[in-house]
Amino acid sequence: MSFTRMPQAFPWPFDQPPNCAIFTMRQVMNGSEPILLISHDAEDHGWQFIGSSNASKHDAMIVSLQEIVRVDSTILEVANLPVGWEAVRDKIGGTWTRRRQSHSFK
pLDDT reported for residue 103: 63
Question: How far apart, in whole angstroms, are the C-alpha atoms of residue 91 and residue 58?
Answer: 24
pLDDT reported for residue 55: 75
Q: What pairing do the DSSP bridges indicate for beta strands 21-25 and 60-64?
A: antiparallel
pLDDT reported for residue 3: 46
Model confidence over 57-104: pLDDT tens digits? 899 999 999 999 999 999 999 999 999 999 999 998 899 999 998 765
pLDDT reported for residue 56: 84
- The mean predicted confidence, pLDDT, of the chain is 89
End-to-end CA separation in angstroms for the chain: 24
Cβ atoms of residues 56 and 79 within 8 Å: no
Cβ atoms of residues 25 and 60 within 8 Å: yes
The share of the chain scoring above pLDDT 70, in percent, equals 88
Give the torsion sign (CA, 53, 98, 89, 2): negative
Strand blocks (E) in the chain: 21-25, 37-40, 47-50, 60-64, 85-88, 97-100
Query: Which stretch of 28-32, 50-54, 78-82, 102-106 has the lowest confidence by average pLDDT?
Result: 102-106
